Amino acid sequence: MGAYDLLFDQVATRIDPELAHRLGFVGVRAGGPALAAARRGVARLRGTTATPVHTLGLTFPHALGLAAGFDKNATGIDALAALGFGHVEVGTVTGRPQPGNPQPRLFRLPADKAIVNRMGFNNDGAAVVARRLEQRAERLRGRDPRGRPVLGVNIGKSKVVPDDDQTAVEADYAISARLLAPFADYLVVNVSSPNTPGLRNLQAVEKLGPLLEHVRQVADAATHDGRGHSGRRVPLLVKIAPDLADEDVDAVADMAVAGARDGVLDGVIATNTTIGRGGLVTPEADVEALGAGGLSGAPLRERSLEVLRRLRRRVGPDLTLVGVGGISTVADARERIAAGADLVQAYTGFIYGGPAWPSRIAAGAGARTQ
């Protein structure tokens, strides 16, 4: 058992998971530069070099990124990159600030290497996060961009906005798109968290298609240079749930192909957390006592992989696909890439794996060959 495993088992599991997350994140931000130096030294000693990935019109240092949910408010992007993540996806950010669901709302299932959460998009809101990203951009201006992570921004629906009011939904997402697109390397529309009432209803293609078109228009306008010339085009992706029926996955895939052809959509992230509880080692009574929420981690691996494979078969070789859900090992990352993922992301695997985990996975993941 390594030092991190011992710390996790003997300390982290004995305190509230949300408090442990906050304390751990403080440590990451405080120790980022030193960890970056250590990571570079380890890479030199081992003679390893990660394989760059060229997709979305961007160059990613390697395939592994941090999924949305860890850095909800864009407070530790570069420190997280220093641990070895080639891209960091912040959020989910909503148009309006919101506290999220009542606590407790985050739970560990150590026997399953899994987490249940019902956070509910707790975040500072698009305006505050945009100011934070603007300040970061000012700090980095003029510095060598090499080694800087690709930055994704994940946006979602504010809880107070009813999902059955399409105009209100589009206006709510537009707030975030307008404020955040200028600072994002890519933008993600999240319609798949189980913790905002009605959000997953937006995955129906008759709602999702118009929403993506609206976000695309707003993002394009937000990055316009104001002098009559088109500005930088920010790639747009959509994140879907593993609980979609296969025919609904196919419908999203077909919509994504059409969206790519029309210049609206650039990729799909598969998948978010699941509301399912099948196949867990943790006693059923203990799981039921935790209540509702999205399950992430190792138990999600098979369904997430299955959805990814189905998407790749349906969309063909060109659309960008990001595989996330249940990636814990180098073998998991390679399997996801072999199944058609251009990029992979993790969150729960990082929580259980510790600060050395990202660089280890990144070094061994490889890249997709078409």
At how many degrees (to 10) do helices 166-180 and 126-140 cross? 20
Confidence of residue 248 (pLDDT cuts 50, 70, 90): very high
Average pLDDT over residues 136-142: 92
Q: What is the mean pLDDT of residues 341-349?
A: 97
Say whether pLDDT at 224 is over 90: no
In the numeric block, the tokens 């800087």 are attached to: 148
Under a CB-based contact definition with an 8 Å cutoff, are residues 239 and 196 in contact? Answer: no
In a domain, 8, yes or no: yes
Encode pLDDT of 250-277 as tens digits: 999 999 999 999 999 999 999 999 999 9
| Annotated catalytic residue 230 | no
Q: Is 123 among the annotated ligand-binding positions?
A: no
Cβ contacts of 213-220, under 8 Å, gap ≥ 24: 213/259, 213/264, 214/170, 214/173, 214/174, 215/155, 215/170, 215/173, 215/174, 215/177, 215/187, 215/189, 216/263, 216/264, 216/265, 218/173, 218/174, 218/177, 218/178, 218/181, 219/177, 219/178, 219/181, 219/187
Q: Is-contact 74 349, C-beta < 8 A?
A: no
What CATH number has the domain bearing residue 110? 3.20.20.70
The whole-number average pLDDT for the span 345-354 is 95
| Residue 122 in marked binding region | no
Residues 337 and 366 sit within 8 Å (Cβ to Cβ): yes
Q: Which of 158, 176, 193, 304 is catalytic?
A: 193
The closest of 219, 224, 226 to 155, measured between CA atoms, is 219
Q: How confident is the model at residue 227 (pLDDT cuts 50, 70, 90)?
A: very low
pLDDT given at position 23: 82
Asked if residue 350 belongs to a known ligand binding site, the reply is: no
**348 assigned to a ligand binding site:** yes
pLDDT for 149 equals 95
157 annotated as belonging to a binding site for a ligand = no
CA Rg value for the chain: 19
Q: What is the tens place of the pLDDT at every residue in 303-338?
A: 999 999 999 999 999 999 999 999 999 999 999 999
Residue 190 assigned ligand-binding role: yes
pLDDT in tens, 170-217: 999 999 999 999 999 999 999 999 889 898 999 999 999 999 999 999
**How much is the pLDDT for 16?**
81
| 92 annotated binding-site participant | yes
Question: Is 198 inside any structural domain?
Answer: yes
5: pLDDT strictly greater than 80? no
Bond into 196 cis (ω within 30): no
In a domain, 370, yes or no: no
How many domains would you assign to the chain?
1
Residue 156 lies in a domain: yes
Is 225 annotated among the ligand-binding residues?
Answer: no
pTM higher than 0.75: yes
Give tens-digit pLDDT for 28-48.
Answer: 887 755 555 545 544 543 456
Least reliable range by pLDDT among 15-24, 66-75, 187-196, 238-247: 15-24
- Does residue 209 sit within a domain? yes
Long-range contacts, 8-17 (Cβ 8 Å, 24+)? 8/352, 8/354, 9/110, 13/108, 13/110, 16/104, 16/106, 17/104, 17/106, 17/107, 17/108, 17/115
In a domain, 298, yes or no: yes
Residue 249 lies in a domain: yes
Whether 27 has a binding-site annotation, put simply, is no
Domain extent for 209? 3-365
Annotated ligand binding at 195? The verdict is: yes
72 annotated ligand binder: yes
Q: Is 115 helix (H, G, I), strand (E, B) or coil?
A: strand
In the chain, the percentage of residues whose pLDDT exceeds 70 is 90
In a domain, 28, yes or no: yes
